[in-house]
Structure 1
Amino acid sequence: MSKKTIAIALTVALAFSLLLAGCGGKTPQQAKVLKIGTDAAFAPFEFQDEKSKEYIGFDIDLIKAIGKQMGYEVKVQGMGFDGLIPALEAGQIDAAVSGMTITEERGKKVNFSKPYYTSGLSIVVKQDNAAIKEFKDLEGKRLAVQIGTTGANFAKKVKDAKVREFNTAPEAFLELKAGGVDAVINDLPVNEYYIAKTGSKDAKIVGKPLNSENYGIATAKKNTELAQKIDKALEDLKKSGEYDKIYEKWFGRKPVK
């Protein structure tokens, strides 16, 4: 090989190496995305900001923190509560976070994370209602619930009750305000948030909360790896104190430990 040929080869090699350096030497990796489904009508857990229309709430902040801990970009998709599990089964979303109570029946269809919030059912009635003071007083009454919830399941077991199911919690509260039902049955923090936002002139919470319910993040039954990663991230957030910060932001107090 002549000196001239060697010089040309070296020049070509140098140009090629500079081209690779300018391109980073490899194709940029795309960010890992975690597709999240939620029913954004369950304040303070998930709802839409009136101005920005962005999804906000305790669940939203928590799942974003979990995603960040795992190295994922979180994209939230709104849908009806009763469509969350079918969406998981169809692979349309990776996980669902929507104030979803961990139940044996749901556990047959999805994997649940370790509990991230403990709740319970409670009753909301109009301020002037003196007939309903506790759960046993609901017999024969007109009840409003959100479709697909544990509140709806409970209401259907109340003797002689006339149950009306609504797509969202706000719709159930509006029906109470209009006088179309006697009471709303929903999770305590949701009822408390409604009273806090609307004032106590029109409605009140009566009786002691019924039972104890744990909320969990749902993933597809076959996606055990993701379920394990979410559990690990949740545990890390609790250890670091980040979970406590998110909790206090939305509930005005630190979680009971």
Structure 2
Amino acid sequence: MKKKWFSLAAVFVLLAGFLAACGTSDSANGSGEGEEGKKKLIMGTSADYPPFEYIDTAKSDEIIGVDIDIAKAVTEKLGYEFEVRDMDFGGLIQALQSGQVDFVLSAMSATEDRKKNVDFSEIYYTSKHMIVSKKGSDITSLEDLEGKTVGVQLGSIQETKAKDLTEEVDMKVENRNRIPELIQEIKAGRFDAAIIEDTVAQGFFEKDKELEGFTVEDADGGYAIALPKDSELTEEFNKALQEMIDNGELDEIITKWFSGE
């Protein structure tokens, strides 16, 4: 009798494990069901890019910024819940392609090269590049980068820009996963300069008076939401974004974060 009871117990344990695994399969694929039966979308981002996405460690461990507010507004309009997943910028496209996330909102430029692998929403912001260096470095033009070591974020539009610039200027390009790493390398003297999105760079200038920089030509493309190829979400997201553009909601979000309110 004891042996039979043990066998039944083992079956129940295995069955419970199987059901638990089934219950987590949606989450592993990047989406699931949230409260009140709403579908939950997983947003991929690289939370090192204020004011677009970052963590204000002095206040909390929550990821905040322009892109988070845009994601909240878009998903709310469409009746979805969303969860933010922080990862290195260079891995975001792969995470989208493998189904780890449902969309990417991370100040990502909609370049022609990226369009080969993912779909993009309409542009919601256009940026410029900035060459950042330590004060007193005498780097005030692209020609001054000759023979210098320049840092860029891995997988970013600035990395592409730096590679293009090497055809005009003889400079060494190195990449790092996070923007703060680029700043650290400049201050440590390992990088002579870094190429960073202008709004993000301005945020560092306000906090660190040792840094300075100058703006170069507009970045290719503009920031857009990345989605899987041929995703039904693309049309839905575009509709919500257009509504936000028309009613001024998008401008309000951008102004809120750029003004530091």
Q: Tell me if TM exceeds 0.5.
A: yes
Letter in 1 for 2:252: K
User: Under a length normalisation based on structure 1, what TM-score does the superposition of the two structures give?
Assistant: 0.82
1:96 shift after superposition? 0.2
Select which of 180, 203, 221 maps to 1:193.
203
Select which of 89, 92, 99 maps to 1:81.
89
Separation (CA, whole Å) in 2 of partners of 1:178 and 1:29: 51
1:117 shift after superposition? 0.3
Separation (CA, whole Å) in 1 of partners of 2:257 and 2:54: 12
Q: Would you say the 8 A contact 1:188–1:209 is kept in 2?
A: no
Matched, 1:39 2:22: no
**CA root-mean-square deviation:** 1.6
Summarize the alignment of residues 92-111 of structure 1 with structure 2, pairs less than 5 Å apart. 92-111=100-119
Greater Cα radius of gyration, structure 1 or 2: 1
Select which of 226, 233, 237 maps to 2:233.
226
Count of aligned residue pairs for this structure pair: 221
Separation (CA, whole Å) in 1 of partners of 2:64 and 2:36: 29
Separation (CA, whole Å) in 2 of partners of 1:29 and 1:103: 37
Letter in 2 for 1:146: Q
Letter in 2 for 1:186: I
Matched, 1:164 2:174: yes
Select which of 228, 232, 245 maps to 2:252.
245
Separation (CA, whole Å) in 2 of partners of 1:195 and 1:105: 31
SS in 1 for 2:99: coil
Letter in 1 for 2:113: E
Stretches of structure 1 that go unaligned for 5 or more consecutive residues are: 1-27
Q: Which residue of 2 aligns with 1:184?
A: 194
1:40 shift after superposition? 0.6
Separation (CA, whole Å) in 1 of partners of 2:42 and 2:211: 37
SS in 1 for 2:242: helix
1:29 shift after superposition? 5.0
SS in 1 for 2:84: strand
SS in 1 for 2:127: strand
Select which of 148, 152, 173 maps to 1:141.
148
Separation (CA, whole Å) in 2 of partners of 1:94 and 1:133: 41
1:154 shift after superposition? 2.1
State, as a whole percentage, how many aligned pairs show the same letter. Answer: 42
> Is the alpha carbon distance of 1:29 and 1:126 closer, same or farther for their aligned partners in structure 2, counting shifts above 3 Å?
closer
Stretches of structure 2 that go unaligned for 5 or more consecutive residues are: 1-34
User: Under a length normalisation based on structure 2, what TM-score does the superposition of the two structures give?
Assistant: 0.81
1:37-85, CA deviations, whole angstroms, 9 ceiling, x for partnerless residues? 0011111110112132111011111111111111111111001111111
1:239 shift after superposition? 1.9
Q: Would you say the 8 A contact 1:40–1:47 is kept in 2?
A: yes
1:241 shift after superposition? 2.1
Q: Would you say the 8 A contact 1:143–1:164 is kept in 2?
A: yes
Letter in 2 for 1:115: I
